[in-house]
A and B are shown apart, each in its own frame.
Chain A
Amino acid sequence: AQKITQTQPGMFVQEKEAVTLDCTYDTSDPSYGLFWYKQPSSGEMIFLIYQGSYDQQNATEGRYSLNFQKARKSANLVISASQLGDSAMYFCAMRATYDMRFGAGTRLTVKP
């Protein structure tokens, strides 16, 4: 069965600093996709970044980058130059065939 794990329930970062949110996964499917979503208190899911299992380069989207280490089955999210508006819940997710699962989430708090 597919499994996705986020081991950091909460993280704090100073404004303008970088932060890394951890995510590990497990699947036997050779083709899969990895996602990161941001969820503010309103509940909406905001797409941040996507990495396919066959992508050779790490994905980047503005201040977000995904540190994809396939052999270690990790897909950590790096947020550079944190902003107060980055405070939210962050979810890592994996899709393999029809299966689409999310991690438990990490609550990020950005301090001024």
Chain B
Amino acid sequence: SQTIHQWPATLVQPVGSPLSLECTVEGTSNPNLYWYRQAAGRGLQLLFYSVGIGQISSEVPQNLSASRPQDRQFILSSKKLLLSDSGFYLCAWIPRYSGNTIYFGEGSWLTVV
């Protein structure tokens, strides 16, 4: 079956520390992958998307970066976290040839202190 996993679920990080959130997909190949961020009480902001290994499109210039080292792995990183990076991060997967389904990860709650 097709699944998506995202971790860690929650983390509290000090300002200036690094970040790594990982997302993996199972049961498919060559998916379109997405990272979103949701600030408290706000909407989902598209951060990055990837249509293939090593292919990353950035939507908003900021303190974050993304990488896709393998077909079904999508990583969100930061070298030095800012307070404004706090929020709820969601990874999502859309099948390449079926546009009416979005699969979401469980989400990661990040608090930068």
Decide yes or no whether A61 CB sits under 8 A from chain B.
Answer: no
Query: Who on chain A is nearest to B55 by CB?
Result: A98
Query: What residues of B have a CB within 8 angstroms of the CB of A95 in the complex?
Result: 94, 99, 102
**Chain B residues near A52 (CB-CB < 8 A):** 99-100
**Interface of chain B, main secondary structure:** strand
Which residues from B are CB-within-8-Å of A35? 102
Asked if B88 lies at the interface with its beta carbon under 8 angstroms from chain A, I say yes
Query: In terms of DSSP, what is the predominant structure of the interface of chain A?
Result: strand
Interface size of A by CB at 8 A reads: 21
B100/A100 in contact, CB under 8 A:
no
Residue in B41, B43, B46, B106 whose CB lies within 8 Å of A44: B106
In the complex, how many angstroms separate the beta carbon of B81 from the nearest chain A beta carbon?
20
Q: How many residues of B contact A (CB 8 A)?
A: 23
The interface-forming segment of A13-21, A63-71, A76-84, A101-109 is: A101-109
Q: Tell me, yes or no, whether B90 is within 8 Å of chain A by CB.
A: yes
Q: Which residues of B contact A (CB under 8 A)?
A: 32, 34, 36, 41-44, 46, 49, 51, 57, 88, 90, 92, 94, 99-102, 104, 106-107, 109
Q: A45-B102, A103-B43 are in contact. List 8 more A-B contacts (CB 8 A).
A: A43-B109, A44-B107, A45-B104, A99-B46, A99-B49, A100-B32, A100-B102, A105-B44
Residue numbers of A with Cβ under 8 A of B are 6, 33, 35, 43-45, 47, 50, 52, 91, 93, 95, 98-105, 107
